Structure 1
Amino acid sequence: MLFTSLPLKNLTLSNRIVVSPMCQYSAENGYANHWHLTHLGQFAIGRAGAVIQEATAISPEGRISYGDLGIWEDEQITMYKNITQFIKSQGSIPGIQLAHAGRKASTDKPWISRKQFLPNETHGWQTLAPSAIPYHEKEHPPKALSLEEIKSLIQDFRKAAKRAVTAGYQIIEIHAAHGYLIHQFLSPLVNKRTDIYGGAFENRIRFLLEIVQEIQQELQENHSLWVRISATDWAENGWDLEQSIALCKELKNLGVEVIDVSSGGAVREQQIDVHAGYQVPFAEKIKAETGMLSGTVGLITSATQAEEILDKQQADFVLIGRAFLKDPHLVYSWAEELKEPITWAPQYARAK
C-alpha cells in the first residue's frame, strides 16, 4: 500500500509518503532563500509523494517567529516558483501550508530560546487571538480581534491562496491545528467570544468555514484543498474528537478533499499520551465517520509501521516530519526495507 499511487480528484500522488510541514525559522522578512529550496528539494529528489512547505504566514503578524516564511506580498512569489518548479521536476507534488499563529506568534527561534517578544522589542509585535487570553499567564496578552479584523484576516487567507496558486503550489493546506489562530477559534478553552464567532460549536467553526469558502474561489482544476486539524486538545472541556468529526463533515460539504489529522497545542495544560502512532486512531475514526481521505502523523518511524497503518485502513497516507530530517531520502530507505522496486533519481541510482 505504501508504494501505491494515491489518486485525488485532480492530482495523483506517486506514493503515500508525504513530507509534513516543518518550520525552518530561516527566512528573512518572510522571504524564502536557498535554504528552503535545498531543504524542500532534497525530499523531492528522494521521491516523496508530496512535499508540504512549512507554515507560511498570511500576514507579518501571523508568523510564529521572525524567521518564518510569509506569503503576504507578491514579491515573495519569485523564490516560491523556483521551489515548486524543482519539486515538480522530480515527480513530486508541491504543497503549502497557509497559517496564522495567533497568540502563539512573536517568538524567538526555538534553538535560541522559547521567549515570546513584547510588542516594543526587536523581533516582537502585538499578537492577535479570538480572546485576550495569553498562551502562558506570564506572556503579554494578545489583542482580541474585532469583527472587522476577522473579516480582513479571512481575505488575507484568500489573497495568500491566490499567491500560492501563482507560485505553482498544487496542494493548499489550511493550518487549523497546534494551537494557532484557527485552532484558537475552534477550542472552547481559548475562544471566549460572545458574538457570532464564539460560544456554540457552529460559531467557533465559522472562521475556518469562511476561510475555506474564500480560498475555494482561487483554486483551479489542478489543485487540492487540505485542512490540518488537531483532533483533540488533550484537555478537559476542550476541543475533542466528536467535534472534529462534526467539523470534517462540514469541511467535506465545502469541497475540502483531505484531512491532515494531528492533535494538541491549544493549551499548556494538555495531557498527551505519547507513544508510537498515538495519533493514528484519530485519523482512523475521522476517515470512518466522514468518508474523507485522511493523513496521519506522529511518531511513525518505520516502513513496516506505516504499511500496517495503511493495510488496516486507518489512514490513506502518512505524513512524516522528524524522520525526514534524519533521512531526507527516507522513501528510498523504506522501499528497500519493504523490498519494493522504486525508480531512483538517475543522478543517485549508483547508490542502489
Structure 2
Amino acid sequence: MAPSAYNAPVADVPFFTPQHVHSPGTPRELTVKTPTLFTPLQIRDVTLRNRVIVAPMCQYSTADSGPQIGRLTPYHVATLGHYALKGAALVFIEATGVQANGRISPNCPGLWCDDQIASVKAVADFVHSQGGLCGIQLAHAGRKASTVAPFVAERFGQRSRRATKDVGGWPEDVVGPSGGLQQSWDGKGEEDETGGYWPPRELTVKEIEQMVDDWKKAAMRAVTAGVDVIEIHGAHGYLIHQFLSPITNRRTDSYGGSFENRSRLAVDIISAIRSVIPATMPLFLRLSSTEWMEETTLGKDLGSWTIEDTIALAKVSSDMGVDLLDVSSGGNHPAQRINMFDSKDYQTRIAGRIREELRLAGKSLLIGAVGLITEAEQASGIVQQDRLGSGSNSSTVVATDEEKHTQVQAGDLAEEAKVAAQMTDAKGKQPMADAVLIARQFMREPEWVLKVAWRLGVDVAWPMQFNRVRFPKL
C-alpha cells in the first residue's frame, strides 16, 4: 500500500494530535536480541508496549476547596502526558483519595465524587493519544493525612507540617485503625509544635465498611474516566498498611490481632474493586514488603509487617484477581532501620525473592520493582530473562539459528506480546521482576525511556514530532 500524505489524527480524543506510525518507546523490530525491558507485556486484555511504568508521584497541585477541589488540572496533563509522549508504557496518576479525608494534603487529588471524573479523563485521553496506558492509584492516607505540601513545610524548616483548618486541613477527621495521641505518625501530640502529623481517631466498624464501599465507588469512577489499570495503595504507612501492621493496628475486633484480621481491610477492598471493574482490566497492589522494624524495640515487642507477611498476602491476592504486586517498603514508623538511599538495590532484591517464592507456590502474580532505579543496565537487568540459560545479567543474549528467525515488526502490540511471552518462556536466568516502576528519574529526565533504549542499543520509535532530534546511533 502506498504511503498517505494525510496527517491522520488520533481517533476518539477531543482534540487533534497526529497518530504515530509506531507508538513511542516500542522497538521497531522485536527479535530474540531485544532486551526483555523493551518487549511488550500483556496483563489480562491490556498490553504494555515495554516494561517501563511511571510510578505514582504526589504533586500537591490540585485545589484545596471550592468546585475544583481534588480535580486534576492541565499541570497533570502536561507532566503525565509528557511521560507517555516519551515512551513510558503505563503512566500512573498519583495517590488519589477515595474519601476527602483520605488525601495526604489538601492539595492532593480525589475521586470521591462524580465531579472529579472529567479531570481524570482529560489525563487518560492524552496518555492514550500517545499510545500509552493510563493507571490510577487509589489511596487513603489514614493517620498520615491532613499535612501541607512538603515544599510548604520546607518554608518552616520541617519535613512534614500539619495542615490546620485555615489552610484546608481536617485535624478532627484524621483516622486510623487505632487512635490516640501516641498514634500520630511521629508520636508527637497536638501540644508539640514540632509535630508534623495529627493524632488519629479510631475508625468504627461501620466507618470501615463505608471505607470499602468508597474504594469500590472510586474504582467505578476510574473505569468511567477511561483508566486502563487501577492500583490499590497498601504501602508507605498509609491506611491499609496501618491496618496490616501490628505496630499501628491495636484493635481487638475482627480487624485486629491475627494476620487474617489485620489483612481483612485489604482483602475486602480487593474483593470490592474486582467485583465492579471489567474482567479485562488489570488490578495492581502496592505493598511495603517490610517496614524495617524487626530490629527495633517496638517491633520486637509488638511484631511488625515482614517480607514473609507480604508473601502470604501476595498469595491470597493472586487468587483474588490481583495481577501485579508493586513491591516497595517502609514508611509506617520513623524508627525504621534502613537508610534507603545507601541501599540502592534493597527493594529489587526483595522483589526477586518474592517472585521466586510465588513461582514455587504456583502463583502467576507479576512483580513490579520500584526504588532508586536510574540507569539503563540496572533497569534492564532487573527484568531480563536469559532465554538460553547462561545465567548472565547481560541485557543482550546470543540467538540460535532457529531463534534468529523470530521477529515481529512493530505494530500489533498484542501479537508482539504473545511472541515475547514465547521467547521468555524458557529455562534460564529468572528476572527479579516483570516490570520496573520509575518515579524521580522521570522528573529529572522525561525522555528516560528513549535514553535507556539508546544506551541498550535498541531502536525504538520516537514521537514523530521529535524525530529530527533522535539520539545518534551508538
Residue 115 of structure 1, aligned match among 158, 161, 175: 161
How far is 1:117 from its partner? 2.7
Distance 1:263 1:87 in 2: 28
5 Å matches for 1:144-293?
A: 144-236=202-294, 237-274=303-340, 275-291=343-359, 292-293=365-366
Partner residue of 1:40? 80
Partner residue of 2:178? 131
Partner residue of 1:95? 135
Distance 2:280 2:202 in 1: 37
Partner residue of 2:381? 308
Distance 1:138 1:221 in 2: 45
Q: Which protein shows a greater Rg? A: 2
SS of match in other structure, 1:175: strand
SS of match in other structure, 2:353: helix
Distance 2:44 2:226 in 1: 18
Residue 458 of structure 2, aligned match among 329, 340, 345: 340
Describe the superposition over 1:149-197 as per-residue Cα deviations: whole angstroms up to 9, x where unpaired. 0000000000000000000111100000000000000011100000000
Describe the superposition over 1:215-261 as per-residue Cα deviations: whole angstroms up to 9, x where unpaired. 01211143100000000010023100000000000101101010000
Residue pair 2:315, 2:358 contacting (<8 A) in 1 also: yes
- What letter matches 1:81 in structure 2? K
Q: Which runs of 5+ in 1 are unaligned?
A: none
Distance 1:141 1:326 in 2: 35
TM-score, scaled to structure 1: 0.98
- What letter matches 2:146 in structure 1? S
Distance 2:111 2:440 in 1: 25
SS of match in other structure, 1:111: helix
Partner residue of 1:297? 370
TM-score, scaled to structure 2: 0.73
Residue pair 2:105, 2:163 contacting (<8 A) in 1 also: no
Partner residue of 1:65? 105
- What letter matches 1:150 in structure 2? I
Provide the alpha-carbon RMSD of the alignment.
Answer: 1.0
Distance 2:333 2:279 in 1: 38
Q: Which has the higher contact order (CA 8 A, sep 6+)?
A: 2
- 2:62 is the counterpart of 1:27: yes
SS of match in other structure, 2:233: strand
SS of match in other structure, 1:279: helix
Residue 53 of structure 2, aligned match among 13, 18, 22: 18
Distance 1:313 1:146 in 2: 43
Q: List structure 1 runs of 4+ shifted beyond 3 angstroms.
A: none
Farther off after superposition, 49-58 or 130-139: 130-139
SS of match in other structure, 1:31: coil
- What letter matches 2:259 in structure 1? F
Distance 1:117 1:304 in 2: 42
Distance 1:242 1:230 in 2: 12
Distance 1:277 1:324 in 2: 18
Residue pair 1:278, 1:299 contacting (<8 A) in 2 also: no
How far is 1:138 from its partner? 1.6
How far is 1:289 from its partner? 1.4
Partner residue of 2:396? none
SS of match in other structure, 1:7: strand
Partner residue of 2:22? none
SS of match in other structure, 1:56: strand
Describe the superposition over 1:7-37 as per-residue Cα deviations: whole angstroms up to 9, x where unpaired. 1121110000100000000011211111011
Aligned length in residues: 351
